[in-house]
Amino acid sequence: ATTTYLYSAENNLLIGNITQNKNVGIFVGSSTATTVDFSSGKTTFNKPIYSGNSEISTLFPYDVSKYRTIGTSTLERWYCSANINSTLNSATLSTNVLRFVPFIISNRTTVDRIGIEVAVSGSSASNARLGIYDVSGGTIPNNLVEDFGTVDISLAGAKSININRTLNAGLYYLVMVHNSAVAPQFRIIAAGQGNNILGSPSTLGTGIGNLITASYAYAVLPNNCSGLTLTVATTSAPAIYLRFSS
């Protein structure tokens, strides 16, 4: 019989000799296996796994992002990074600034729309460009996953782009940059309303990081962030929305 080993490598817990679309039995103190399903990049357990006397699933914090509405058949819902139960206001956001907003994906999923809301219109023929980046070093935006293109911000209203992007579980950054000569107002995630991904500086104080910014002359999005001067900001972040299709 072939033995499959469970082992650790740095911060990852790995199972050796595993290929996608295979089930693996894990034996924890008994002869009854807990099956792990690796199909489609997802991991599910058909029985509890225990750490000491506690079921592991109960040791993790409640993750609301697992329960986002899928598709449009019943209730169509769009999601931004706000981690609050209050009204999203609007604010002016200056031109030629990349604004990276952290967004958590808890399960492998597909998104079919990305959008923003323009509360007060920008100048004639102005646009905002939207995209998504992966991370390095735990929380730092790294490589461009996709530049989704532009939306017209010369008129107020909800603006969206049809997309088709499958994302594995992890932390990503949704990004926006615009070129309006007259600074428009966008629907925003105000300071203190976002997920606490970026923490506080070494001086501590009252400010909690809300987004990462970088000066950038409006253009297609850079392939990576290595040439950018990134700054953690406590100011308002654009509310960049995704709609989930699966």
pLDDT along the chain (246 residues), means of 10: 49 50 46 48 46 42 55 69 73 93 87 93 94 87 95 95 92 94 90 71 73 92 93 86 85
pLDDT of residue 73: 60
Q: Are strands 109-120 and 157-167 parallel, antiparallel or unpaired?
A: antiparallel
This model's pTM is above 0.75: no
pLDDT of residue 222: 96
pLDDT of residue 191: 77
* 64 φ/ψ angles, rounded to the nearest 5 degrees: -65, -25
Spatial separation of the C-alpha atoms in residues 11 and 14, rounded to whole Å: 10
pLDDT of residue 70: 65
pLDDT of residue 67: 58
DSSP helix, strand, coil percent of the chain (3-state; round to 5): 5, 45, 50
Distances, alpha carbon 172 to alpha carbons 32, 95, 145, in Å: 38, 23, 9
pLDDT of residue 169: 86
